[in-house]
Chain A
Amino acid sequence: MQFFSRRKKLIGNSQTEQLYGHCLQFYGQPPIENISLSEFETFAVERLKLLKTVENLGVSYVRTSEQYTKKLDAEFSNLNFPYKIEADDRKPQTGPSEFEKRRKDHISHFILRLAYCQTEDLRRWFIQQEIDLFRYRFKHLHPKNQSEFLHRNNLHYHTISVEEKNNLMDKLINSRFAVSGTTVDYQDFYKVPFQDALDLVRTRKVYLKGGYVYIPHQDIVTIVLNDFRTRLSKALALTARSLPAVQSDERLQPLLNHLSHAYVGQDYSIQKSIGKISLEQIDPLSAKSYPLCMRQLHRGLRDSHHLRHGGRMQYGLFLKGIGLTLDQALQFWRSEFVKGKVDADKFDKAYAYSIRHMFGKEGKRTDYTPYSCMKVILSNPPSQGDQHGCPFRHSDPELLKQKLQSYKVSPSGISQILELVKGMHYQLACQKYFELTHSIEDSGFSLNHPNQYFMESQKLLGGPGAGVKVEVKREDNPATKPPNPSPHQTPGPGNLPQEVEAEITEDLDSFFQDA
C-alpha cells in the first residue's frame, strides 16, 4: 500500500543515508516505504504523546531550565525518539536502534501532518510544538553536529573572516547585550540576509549592514528555526490540499480524525466506583469535585430543567464516567426534565433512548467514552443557548471572571486563570481552578480529562468517586458485553453517522489505552 504517491523516488542506501544519517532533520522528504497499519498507528500516537509532553513542559517550566531538560530527556527515552548523537554513535544495548528511532521520527512527523493540517488551530498547535521540539534537539547538539546539520541541509550561512570580525568588533559588541569581545573572538559569525532573521532585525538585536545581519554561532538557532517554521507552514498548506485524496482511504480517515482530537491516555469508560455515587450526592459533588465545564452543565440543567443535545452528551457521558448506572442516569435525567416542559411520556419516547444509547444498550451497543478535554475544546463549539464546551475556551473572559467570582475564587487566582486563558492554555487554566478550589499548591497531575479531574478531586477529599484503577482492555471486561449479543440492528432514527463513529471509536479507543 502506498500512502504518499505524490513523489517518485528511488529507494537506495544513499537515500536512507541522506534521510537518517543525522539524528535531526527538516522533514523535507516524505517517507516512501510501505508500513503496516499498526506501525502507522503506533508511530502517530507516540509522537503525539511526545508533542503533548513538549507542550505541557513548555508551559510549566522555563525552557532552558534543568527540570525541563531532564523531563523531556526522559520522555524521549521512554518513547524511543532520537535526541542526541551518542558519543561514538555506538548501537545501544537494548531497545530499538538509532536507525529505527530516526525512521520513527521521520514517519511519525509526516503522519501527524496529515492529522493536523486541516484547520488553522490545529496547524498552529502542531507547528508550535514541532518548533519547540526542534529547538530543543538542535540546541542539545554538539556545535560540530550543528554545523554538520546546516551543511547537510544546504544552509550555507556564510561565515565571515577573522579580519572582518576584527573590523566590525565594536559594532558587533554594541549590537547585542549577549555579545562580548570574547564572543567575537571565539565564535564564528555568520552573515545572513536580513529577510531570514526578521525577529532579530525587528528588535534590533543584531548588527545589520548592507542588507545582511551578523550573527554569532550561539544565535544561529533562531535563524534555523525561522527557516523550519516557514518550511513547515508551507508544507502543511500543501498537505491540506492533498488531504482529500488521503481521506478517501477508509483505513486512514477515522484514525486521522481521531488523532487530531486524540486523548492519549485513560478513557474513563468504566469505573470501579460504579454504583457508588447516589443521586443525592450529585449536587454537592458538582460544587466540590466537578470541573468547571460540568459544573456549568449541571447548573444549566438544574436551572432550566433541560439541556440540548451537545450538553446531554458531554454531561451524560461524564456521569457515566463517574459511576452512575444506567438506571440512575435515567432517573436523574427524567426527574429533571419532568420539572420542565417535558412530561414523563415524552421523556421516555424522546430522551430515554439516547441515554440508553450512551450506555451501549441500544443500536450497535457501543459503549461511548466520556469526552476528553481535547475533544471538548476542539469539537462542536457551543452556540447560542448551548451549555456545553469548555468554559475556559468558549466563554467570554468577562463572563468567565464573573462566574469564578461567584464561585468564590480569589482575585489573584482569577487573574492567573485569565492569563492562562489568554495564552490559550485552557487545560492548565482548569488545573489552576482545581488547585484554587482545593486550596493546594500543585495539583500533581496533568489535566486531560474531566473525569480525571473528578477522580483526582475525590482522591483528595476521600470521597466515593475516587475509584482505584480504570479497566483497560474493554474486550476483556464482561460488563460491556450485553448478555446476549444481538445481531447488528438497524440504527436508531437519524443516528447513522454516530453509529459509524462509535464503531471506529471503539476500535481505536482500545488501542489508545495505556497498557
Chain B
Amino acid sequence: MPVADYDQASLPDLLPLYYRRLFPFSQYYRWLNYGGVTKNYFQNREFSFTLKDDIYVRYQSFSTQNELEKEMQKMNPYKIDVGAVYSHRPNQHNTVKSGSFQALEKELVFDIDMTDYDDVRSCCSAADICPKCWTLMTIAIRILDRALRDDFGFRHCLWVYSGRRGVHCWVCDEAARKLSVAARSAVSEYLSLVKGGEETVRKVVLSDPIHPFINESLKVVEHYFPQYAVVGQDILGSKEAADKVLALVPEDVRKELLQYFQTEKNPEKRWGRLKTLVQNKRTTAKGHYFEKEIMLQYCYPRLDVNVSKGVNHLLKSPFSVHPKTGRISVPIDLRELDRFDPFDVPTISLICEELDRPKTAEEEEEKEDTDENEREAGERRKRRDYKQTSLAKYVKLFDQFLEGMARSWKGEHLKKSDLQKDF
C-alpha cells in the first residue's frame, strides 16, 4: 500500500478506530504483565503519551488492562513510549518521598537508526530509506540477534520495525530486565565496533587476536557485502565513493589501487584486487585487516549506546503508530528476515480501511468459531477485528513470542509456589 494514501491530518479520525478495534490489548497486557510473577510489575510500569499538538505526558501508569484500554481510548495518543518498572506507581510519583521513587527494571533495548549510516550509504540520507539500504538493518539484526543469544544467553528478543527508518530490539529475559546501568553499558560496548564521528576517518580498528565475536560478525557481513556494498551501494564505482574507501587503506596499497583503477572499472574486480593486496601484506608478523575493517565500517551495526544504557529510558512501543508515516511498529519475523519489506508494513489508514471491507467467507467462518468462545457479547467484535486486517500476521507473531516466554513464567510460578510449600 503506498504511503501516499496515509495523511497525517487524518490521524484524529483513525486513532480512535485503531485503539477501539485494532490495538491488541490483551497480548500487550500479557507481555508487560510477565505472567504476574512479580507483584505490581504492570502497575508500576511507566508509559508516556504524545498527544495531539505535541503535548507530551509522562509517568502514566495503569492498574489493569481495562484501565489501560479506557485511558488510551480516551486520550488517543499519537505516540506511545514504554519506560521502566518503578518502585511505586508512576502516576503517584509526586506523593513519594524524594529519592525513594526509583526505576527498578526494564527490558534491555537497542535502537538502530538508518541516519547513523549516512556516511556510508549513497542511495539515501536522513529519514529516507529504500530497499537497497534496508539491507543494513538486515545485517544489524542478524549480527546482534546472534550475539544476544549465543554470547549473552538471552532467549527472548523481540525485534520491531520502528515505523520509519530503523529497528528496535526488546530483550525481555528476566536477567536482561534486571541489568544495572553499568551492565547495559558494558553489553552495548561489547557490541560496538564502529567508533568515531565526523572527524574520524578510520572508524574500525582491528588487531590481533581477533575476538570470536568479531569473527562471527564478519561472517554475516561477508555474506552480504559483495551484493549490498560493491554492487548495490557501488562503493568502488564513482571516484568520490572509491576515494572514501581508499582513505581506509595504507599509503602503498592506495597508490597501487589508484593505478589499477585507471584501467579496471568493474567494481567487483576492484574489490577483489583490494582484498588481494591487503591480504598479501598480512604475511608479516603484525596482522593487518584492512579489508575486514572496510567491510565492517560500511556494514556493521551502529548502536546508540545512550538508548541502551538507561534503565529509565523511554522507547517507542510495539504496535504504536508512527505519526509521520502512519506505519505500525510491528514485530519482525526473523525466520523470514531477508524477505522483510518495510514498505509492506501496514499503515493505520490501510488497516482501518480493511475493517470496513466486506469479509470473505473464510473470515466469516473463523469469526463465528471464535465468537462462540467469547464470554461477553460486546467484546466479540472488539477483540478479533484485527484478524481481518493486515495486522493479523503481526499479532500472531507477537503471540508466538509471548508463548515462548510464557513457558519460563510457568517455571517461575512453580519455583515460587514450591518455596511457599504451596502444592
**Chain A interface residues (CB < 8 Å from chain B):** 171, 173-177, 194-195, 198-199, 201-204, 207-212
Q: Are A201 and B186 in contact (CB under 8 A)?
A: yes
B208/A208 in contact, CB under 8 A? no
Q: Which of B149-198 contact A (CB under 8 A)?
A: 150-154, 175, 179-180, 182-183, 185-187, 189-190
- Contact A201–B209 (Cβ < 8 Å): no
* 7 nearest CB pairs, A to B: A211-B153, A202-B186, A210-B153, A198-B186, A174-B209, A208-B151, A202-B189
Is A198's CB under 8 angstroms from B211's CB?
Answer: no
Interfacial chain B residues near A209, Cβ < 8 Å: 150-151, 153
Residue B212 lies at the interface, judged by CB distance under 8 Å to chain A: yes
Residues of B192-250 whose CB lies within 8 A of A: 208-215
In the complex, are the beta carbons of B212 and A171 less than 8 A apart? Answer: yes
Least CB distance, A257 to chain B, in whole angstroms: 25
The smallest C-beta distance from A202 to any residue of chain B, in angstroms, reads 4
Q: For the complex, give the distance between the alpha carbons of A198 and B153 in Å.
A: 15
A174-B212, A198-B183 given; 15 more Cβ-contact pairs under 8 Å: A174-B211, A175-B212, A176-B209, A195-B179, A195-B183, A198-B182, A199-B186, A202-B190, A204-B190, A204-B213, A204-B214, A209-B150, A209-B151, A210-B150, A210-B151
Nearest CB of A to B106, in Å: 16
Q: Which residues of B contact A210 (CB under 8 A)?
A: 150-153
B152 to chain A, nearest CB (A): 5
CB distance B210 to A174 under 8 Å?
yes
Give the residue name and chain of the B residue nearest to A207 (CB).
B212
The reply to whether B209 and A177 form a contact with Cβ atoms under 8 Å apart is yes
Bound: A211/B180 CA distance, A? 15
A203 neighbours in B (Cβ, 8 Å): 189
What's the least CB distance linking B207 to chain A, in Å? 9
A175 contacts which chain B residues (CB < 8 A)? Answer: 209, 211-212
Interface residues of B in 248-278 (CB under 8 A from A): none
The reply to whether A208 and B189 form a contact with Cβ atoms under 8 Å apart is no
Q: B190 near A201 (CB under 8 angstroms)? A: yes
Report 19 cross-chain contacts, Cβ distance below 8 Å, ordered by A residue: A171-B212, A174-B210, A174-B212, A175-B212, A195-B183, A198-B183, A202-B189, A204-B211, A204-B214, A207-B212, A209-B150, A209-B151, A209-B153, A210-B151, A210-B152, A210-B153, A211-B151, A211-B152, A211-B154
Q: Are the C-beta atoms of A194 and B209 separated by less than 8 Å? A: no
Complex Cα gap A203–B192 (Å): 10
Q: How far is the CA of A30 from the CA of B92 in the complex (A)?
A: 39
The one of A171, A174, A208, A212 that contacts B190, using a Cβ cutoff of 8 Å: A208
Q: Once the chains are docked, how many angstroms separate the CA of A222 from the CA of B414?
A: 36
Which residue in chain B gives the minimum CB-CB distance to A212? B153
A202 vs B208: C-alpha distance in the bound complex, in angstroms? 17
| CA of A204 to CA of B147, assembled, Å | 13
Interchain CB contact (< 8 A) of B152 among A174, A176, A198, A208:
A208
List chain B residues, Cβ under 8 A from A208. Answer: 151-152, 190, 213
Q: How far is the CA of A173 from the CA of B208 in the complex (A)?
A: 11
Q: Is the CB of B209 within 8 A of A211?
A: no
A198 cross-chain contacts in B, Cβ below 8 A: 182-183, 186
Please give, as numbers and ranges, the residues of chain A lying within 8 Å of B190 by CB-CB distance: 201-202, 204, 208
- Residues B329-358 near A (CB distance < 8 A): none
Residues of A within 8 A of B153 (CB): 209-212
Contact status of A194 and B213, CB under 8 A, knowing A201-B186, A202-B189: no
Contacting residue for A173 out of B150, B182, B189, B209, CB 8 A: B209
Inter-chain CA distance A72–B405, complex, in Å, is 54
Smallest CB gap from A170: residue in B: B212
Q: How far is the CA of A202 from the CA of B185 in the complex (A)?
A: 8
Q: How far is the CB of A295 from chain B (nearest CB, A)?
A: 40
For the complex, give the distance between the alpha carbons of A210 and B154 in Å: 8
User: How many angstroms from the CA of A177 to the CA of B152 in the assembled complex?
Assistant: 21
Residues of chain A within 8 A (CB-CB) of B175 are 195, 211
Docked Cα-Cα span, A202 to B209, in Å, equals: 16
Taking CB atoms, residues of chain A closer than 8 Å to B209 are 173-177
Contacts of B215 in A (CB 8 A): 174
Q: How far is the CB of A434 from chain B (nearest CB, A)?
A: 39
Nearest chain A CB to B63 CB, angstrom units: 32
Name the interface residues of B82-137: CB closer than 8 Å to any CB of A: none
- B179: chain A residues within 8 A (beta carbon): 195
Query: Chain B residue with minimal CB distance to A199?
Result: B186
Q: Which residues of A contact B182 (CB under 8 A)?
A: 198
